[in-house]
Amino acid sequence: MNNKKKENLSLGIFLVCMFLIGFIFFASLRNNLEVMSIYGEKVLVSVSSYFTIASTIFLMLLSFVSAICVYFYFNVFSKDLILKRKQKTALNFLERDNKRVFEYLVNIENNECLQKDLIYELKINRVKLTRVLDYLTEKNLIKRISYGKTNKIVLVG
């Protein structure tokens, strides 16, 4: 499951929990009773109701689940936002092949690929690609990890 689906799921669970918490609170706030007085008049009396132990535990559980969902949503969302800003800024300063390689890494899943795949996909010769990767590594935009006879290229983030 990708991060966007996880974000939407956590936001949905949070909203359902908030709805249930609101419903329980408003349903049990006040109850009105009609009481007959000794003079035969009907009197409307407001009675406060208290939460039972089961409803209190349920409210605590819903609050806990809501807090976890909000934490996850903003944690993943803020990381994605920061990473996207950093990548957009980097793309503005890169030129030609450097930009093509970096853009390719940003757009593929997991933001990583093998060096030989870059040669094949972008149709850049080995020497030129090595120079481009050296430049991007020097600028701390990517990391090269040895992977057999080739390298795995990973975006730094």
SS3 per-residue string spanning 64-79: HHHHHHHHHHHHHHHH
d(CA 90, CA 154): 15
Q: What is the mean pLDDT of residues 27-38?
A: 68
Contact (CB, 8 A) for 144 and 150 = no
Q: Which of the residue ranges 28-42, 85-99, 100-114 has the most confident prediction, judged by mean pLDDT?
A: 100-114
CATH code, 94-155: 1.10.10.10
> Angle at CA 72, nearest 5°, toward 71 and 77?
105
Q: Which pLDDT does position 78 carry in this prediction?
A: 65
Q: Phi and psi dihedrals of 124, rounded to 5? A: -110, 140
What are the two backbone dihedrals, phi and then psi, of residue 40, each rounded to the nearest 5 degrees? 90, 5
106 close to 86: Cβ distance less than 8 angstroms: no
- Across 12-16, 23-27, 36-40, 83-87, the highest mean pLDDT is recorded for 12-16
pTM > 0.75: yes or no? no
pLDDT in tens, 119-137: 888 888 888 888 888 888 8
What pLDDT does 3 receive? 62
Segment 81-98 shows an average pLDDT of 70
d(CA 101, CA 142): 10
The domains of the chain are located at 3-82, 94-155
- Evaluate if residue 81 carries a pLDDT over 60: yes
